Structure 1
């Protein structure tokens, strides 16, 4: 088995564990799930991992290891996606998820969840919806990066989250507002708010919500909003900016 050799994949147990999980699937030690069928329970071995990952008191390195195990063997965990959305989201949005900002483990776990969106989304459980909205706020808060390629990639992830999970999401307008309210002319991070607003509008979210808690005296007047939106590049153009 070949993995990208990041710190977690370099762990002496990762290759063996990933291989074992796939071996159990191939030999139907893990029950075969027919396409289109949603299992009502987890296999016993998977329940153990689920309990560990979902328990905040479990050591962080163990939860990260389990999350990476899921990423490496996502096709095995895919039929059980609805059970894993909550624990994985909880890890990502927790105060300590193994790094700062949108680091590689955040990207890998979120991409895995999004790849399961045809099978399960956070709409099935209220607590998962809450976690999904916390994820969106986290991603938007940390979207900006000095490296344009990283910034574009972060925007692409947010775009996909909005597209796949829009039925359970509310836009964190405060984050967007703060993303274009900077006053330092030497910084380019004001563009992040405009880009994020463009992504929201492109997915049929309104450009503003009176209930979002932003002081109306500080928000952009309607005439300025129209001008700003008219001048705003399309999300696809924003994502392809060099």
Structure 2
């Protein structure tokens, strides 16, 4: 999974403004395949070189991207390659690296107002367009933070949240994200653990979960070395995402 830069958005968790896009435009570069998926609202694998047959949504890793989104991403990648094939000494491919702003401004010039324009393209452009107009090559965290403040002022529905938003990462990331989404009270670690236990008892639990130990009331998981171990409420309590909950 693409590792997105978290500053300054860790400090300004927002409801109504997509922090995933804010973080993505801070990357030094992305491949053309990554950029094509991002502007179509698809969460790409890091350094992706092509468009996969299936993927997750950028704003919701628990939901699958649609076939149309994947098809549109493939068309955008092909269009970029066609436009730049002769400009690059080694040719252009889905693995070609480009600065996010350069790619987004190409999308604006090539796709805006046309039938194949991705519905979510403007969600990226709203952050980089004002920066580009000032002749800046790459938006800094300070620039993005200022842009967020501007968007908040002009969008009454956008408000800052008063409590932290959990973003589970690492080896347990996917399983904990699923448990968090399924929990009745997601800010309560006990509720999240109960949801995790329920997931563990399903036929195909999310990795690294492999089952549930009823006698000990703990989740059975397989660690990075393939050894089965137990995961309990105390392990969840030690996760940094719950230290303030």
TM-score scaled by structure 1?
0.26
Query: Greater helix share, 1 or 2?
Result: 1
Q: More relative contact order in 1 or in 2 (CA 8 Å, sep 6+)?
A: 2
Q: Whose strand proportion is higher, 1 or 2?
A: 2
